Amino acid sequence: MTAVFAVCFAGLAVAALLVLVRLLLGPSVPDRIVSLDTLLQVVVAGVAIAAARTRSGEFLAVLLAVSLLGFLGTVVVARFVERRGA
């Protein structure tokens, strides 16, 4: 199982780096919101896999909070962009 977790974390790290590339390149604000949203999903995936590794539910509350707050943030920024323009 150790190798599986290593591969999972490495894969997620690469995914996060790729998402960062789009976050930096933009070019528009919606592009960056999409990137941040995806980055957050990668973080949630990472925490879930970390929980699976230790088999303990310590961080699961964090996971729930992060995933819901992320949604809230996305909606708020999207509404903001809609009114103010990219």
Partner 1 sequence: MRDVLSAVLMLTGVALALVAALGLVRFPDVFSRMHAATKPSTLGLLLITVGAAVRMREGGDAVALLLVAAFQFVTGPVAAHMIGRAAYRSGAGAQAGLVVDELADVSAPPA
Partner 2 sequence: MTRRSGTAVLVAWLTLVWVGLWGSVTAANVLGGLAVALVLVRVLRPSPAGAPAVVSPPALLRFVLRFLVDLVVSSLQVARLAVGRRVELRSGIVSVQVPGASDTLLTVLADAITLTPGTLTVEVDASTATLYVHALDVGEGPEGVQRLRASLREQARAVVRAMGTAEARSHPTPLGRTGDRRREGQP
* Contact set with partner 2 (CB under 8 A): 57, 60-61, 64
Long-range contacts made by residues 40-49, C-beta under 8 angstroms, separation at least 24?
A: 40/66, 40/67, 40/70, 41/70, 42/12, 42/15, 42/16, 43/16, 44/70, 45/12, 46/9, 46/12, 49/5, 49/8, 49/9, 49/12
Spatial distance between the Cα atoms of 53 and 5, rounded to a whole number of angstroms: 7
What token pair was written down for 52?
Answer: 């699976």
- Which residues are near partner 1 by CB under 8 A? 1, 4, 7-8, 11-12, 14-19, 21-22, 28-31, 33-35, 37-38, 41-42, 44-45, 48-49, 51-52, 55-57, 60-61, 63-64, 67-68, 71, 74-75, 78-79, 81-82, 84-86
- C-beta closer to partner 2: residue 4 or 64: 64
Smallest gap from Cβ 62 to partner 2, in A, equals 12
- C-beta closer to partner 2: residue 8 or 34: 34
**Residues constituting the chain:** 86
Residue 36 touches which of partner 2, partner 1, none (CB < 5 to 8 A by kind)? Answer: none
Residue 79 touches which of partner 2, partner 1, none (CB < 5 to 8 A by kind)? Answer: partner 1
